[in-house]
Chain A
């Protein structure tokens, strides 16, 4: 035990901030009969941008490793070319009307990770499907304290009718835990930080007492809810089941804390990393959320995340880059040159923040690799061109190598109408969950690894 620390030692030392990520100090240690060289875990994140992208400056003309980056990629992601897969030709068919009429924005977001057709409703009987991140969370989420993280920028302040007869739940939520329960996003970086790191000394005596009380509370309300459930009809039961599921999930988390052998010693960020709230500036806000996500991955508090950079149909304007018109309004550009230019600026602005996140990940070492190497970060939109509202030829990037499971640095073109869900299925598999199919997938996406 010279240079390498055991979990026990780490736990004894808890309360003291450890400056090193767990894996650095831990790899090579045998604990409780675990294999000596546990491979470093993979991370999966999805970044979503609304209203499509100006594809003429996004899609490379050549395929393979020697492709030339078009303007939007070149001006933002050039340093990460070798970490990047550009995937062309993918389609999110369920975002199409398929007989349901207008509502492309609501469908684009809610179908992006589910590959299911949203039931068109203002509210009653919300129904779509479990999203890819949640499939992974349910499979591997037990290994970390938070089975998944859901981040966003917009709070979902929308009033009124969000999109042509679809409830706002569809145009605000990317991640769906069940076919009727969206995972609400956190948009305040301070709250994210506190949730991740600020539970004070959970393994201290006071922390353990607190968790014990919390468990008793959950036991009590759990039994109350079960009693109540007996008295309810079918629809009400479904609502109460959300409550019961939430209780169960938190109980599992508390049990982990109670059993310190399961809870890894974590890297604690310095106090200076704690955000003070939601910054006024949109760019600063996105960057802080990226910081929080990078910290969560670094501390291995969660391995799956979604980040909605703006709700679908967002009409945000971008004064700081000289765009005073709204994004959605501009995206219906009618092939106006001036509008094209402005759309490109907005696309570029969002991509710069993606690059910022990749930069963060690449600067974090895990073992002898970077965290970016360990990760698979998907960036994309459920709309191709904002003017046409098309859902084929989607803009999709995958950054990172998934710990070697992805051969990046290439542009791959798939045949028309290849389901986006084929990508999801392939990434779900790389995260350790094997499914025969997912949503409208027709198979696994070829050539991701070679």
Chain B
């Protein structure tokens, strides 16, 4: 049976859930007194686990008997990683058995982290490692646009990029099946053929005003310049020689000189140095973290904020080795954000963080919700993207994602929201006068993607908030819940009443109370995000209680309670931003960096640009750790 990777962040969730109840920023700092195996930990396992996992029963092939000291435990790390996994996801103990208290679990988890896995924020920095990552579709389109002035979108014809950790540019998840290489070859051909029909672009991007005058002697100059830009680092003489020789061989095979050049350009566009974000570890035999080089850093920055290659200014800073000089990267962040290319960041991040890409496939029942149509579908996404863009460009506090008194709307969306006096189909900033809405949670896009076609889903909405606002995803349902027999008598009443009857099941109650409560707080918004006072014949009851935070009676009060959890939101948002910035999932070691960033931006009222600067200055972004085990096979 394969083990789930235990290093990953989801393992921290129950810890974070505990933190939801009583937040302590020290959760990972390890400042608490160290737990003692014999006194604090072993009794918990004896009481809750060893009844089944002993040498006789060996339930699931696992025995936890015979571990009498920390040293014993460390001898079988693999087993204990699995134990940690099961405890943290809540799969063990099984639902019908007694469970350790939250406090006990926290002690055990801390013991596992600090003493078994020896995880600490104090030791050597661990910036993690991004797996060799190819350009995703957006990056490909943007890169060829900025490289050669391509105006069409070649990657539209590529297969979809799979998603991991909520984003579609994760190195571990992006794969390169043969069909994609085939599409790269076709795209390269199309790009070159369009380029040679456009004298302006030929001159601008290749410095080739007259392709019929090109000679073989010009190949190294033209291809070398192109490769340097395309590979986002100076092309080596050997590379240029190879490309030119290939172009030449095409001519020797009987083709005109210009066809050789075209072939050379195509080779650049299909080269692994172009298609992958290559980052080289200077010493693959060492796992010591090292700063990535200036060109790699420039690329990380431009692909973070533009989803495209560095422009000349940024590239030159790298070439002159200036990117780590005081104030330079801060200035570059500000400069890149002002550029039109930053649209890729605002749209791409917003759509994925808020999961608005799912808007393209939701199918609200038009008979019940006639106001919903494809225009409104697009408007919903636009609203959230503009909102994000505003907070970024104006350097507002990220807490405005949780609550504010404004949004962006055009006439259609304003009608949907009941906001008067918006007459144009262009979006403008509008202020809410009635406190019904504010922040991303009450934006129509989010409310729509978390609904079913014919009804709202408080569970989905609550889960969405836990995952995307609080960063405390609920543990998965315990095994076996799907097989629960429905009650003999049909459930009746409003959705809330029916769900409350459902929640009577103790296996489901704990987590669902948390999810459903927040979801019910949003019941005033129908499945397409319009305000309602009634659900069928029943008046809406949006009251509830947020565990540990207090009661709310309306969506507004719910939002205010969530704003009170600024620390949790800032962690969650920072984590998503780091995933987006690096193209990898966050691991346990990254929690140290996330905590440090949150601490730093808190002093600056959680300003958006402060966060972005912290992200690019972080070790996670600036450094890299070579592969354990050195070179591969």
Cβ of B479 and Cβ of A101 under 8 Å apart?
yes
Cβ of B1 and Cβ of A217 under 8 Å apart?
no
Cβ of A102 and Cβ of B476 under 8 Å apart?
yes
Judged by a CB distance under 8 angstroms, whether B201 is at the interface is no
Cβ of B4 and Cβ of A235 under 8 Å apart?
no
Judged by a CB distance under 8 angstroms, whether B32 is at the interface is no
Cβ of B467 and Cβ of A246 under 8 Å apart?
no
Cβ of B180 and Cβ of A234 under 8 Å apart?
no
Q: Which residues of A contact B129 (CB under 8 A)?
A: 235
Interface stretch (choices A24-32, A118-126, A289-297, A421-429): A118-126
Question: How would you classify the secondary structure of chain B's contact residues: helix, strand, loop or mixed?
Answer: loop
Q: Which residues of A contact B631 (CB under 8 A)?
A: 232-234, 237
Cβ of B178 and Cβ of A159 under 8 Å apart?
no
Cβ of B177 and Cβ of A246 under 8 Å apart?
yes
Q: Which residues of B contact A335 (CB under 8 A)?
A: 486
Query: If A234-B632, A335-B486 touch, does A162 touch B163 (CB 8 Å cutoff)?
Result: yes
Judged by a CB distance under 8 angstroms, whether B280 is at the interface is yes
Cβ of A161 and Cβ of B467 under 8 Å apart?
yes
Cβ of A228 and Cβ of B272 under 8 Å apart?
yes
Judged by a CB distance under 8 angstroms, whether B173 is at the interface is yes
Task: Select one of A150, A182, A213 contacting B255, CB under 8 A.
Answer: A213
Query: If A159-B355, A195-B182, A231-B280 touch, does A239 touch B585 (CB 8 Å cutoff)?
Result: no
Judged by a CB distance under 8 angstroms, whether A172 is at the interface is yes
Contact with B along A303-319 (1 / 0, CB 8 A): 00000000000011101
Task: Select one of B89, B259, B483 contacting A101, CB under 8 A.
Answer: B89
Report the minimal beta-carbon distance from A108 to chain B, rounded to whole angstroms. Answer: 13
Report the minimal beta-carbon distance from B316 to chain A, rounded to whole angstroms. Answer: 25
Query: If A167-B173, A168-B163 touch, does A324 touch B246 (CB 8 Å cutoff)?
Result: no
Q: Which residues of B contact A334 (CB under 8 A)?
A: 486
User: Residues of A within 8 Å of B, CB-based: how many?
Assistant: 92
Task: Select one of A185, A239, A245 contacting B276, CB under 8 A.
Answer: A239
User: Residues of B within 8 Å of A, CB-based: how many?
Assistant: 93
Cβ of B4 and Cβ of A246 under 8 Å apart?
no
Report the minimal beta-carbon distance from A144 to chain B, rounded to whole angstroms. Answer: 14
A217→B245 CA distance, assembly (Å):
11
Cβ of B453 and Cβ of A216 under 8 Å apart?
no
A184→B153 CA distance, assembly (Å):
19
Q: Which residues of A contact B91 (CB under 8 A)?
A: 99, 101
Cβ of B2 and Cβ of A216 under 8 Å apart?
no
Number of residue pairs spanning A and B whose beta carbons lie under 8 angstroms apart: 272
User: Which residues of B in the span 443-480 have a Cβ within 8 Å of any Cβ on A?
Assistant: 452-454, 467-468, 473, 476-477, 479
Report the minimal beta-carbon distance from A149 to chain B, rounded to whole angstroms. Answer: 9
B366 to chain A: closest residue by CB: A319
Cβ of B352 and Cβ of A242 under 8 Å apart?
no
Cβ of B178 and Cβ of A249 under 8 Å apart?
yes
Which residues of A does B touch, CB under 8 Å? 97-104, 117, 119-127, 150, 154-162, 164-165, 167-169, 172-173, 177, 180-186, 188, 191, 195, 209, 212-214, 216-221, 223-225, 228, 231-240, 242-243, 245-247, 249-250, 315-317, 319, 324-326, 329, 332, 334-336, 387-389
Pick 6 A–B contacts, CB within 8 A, sort by A.
A101-B89, A160-B467, A184-B159, A185-B160, A209-B255, A387-B482
Which residues of B does A touch, CB under 8 Å? 1-2, 4-5, 8, 10, 60, 89, 91, 129, 131-134, 157, 159-160, 162-166, 168, 170-173, 175-182, 185, 188, 239, 242-243, 246, 249-250, 253, 255, 259, 263, 266-267, 270-273, 275-276, 278, 280-281, 284, 351-352, 355-358, 360-361, 363, 365-368, 452-454, 467-468, 473, 476-477, 479, 482-483, 486, 584-585, 626-627, 629-633
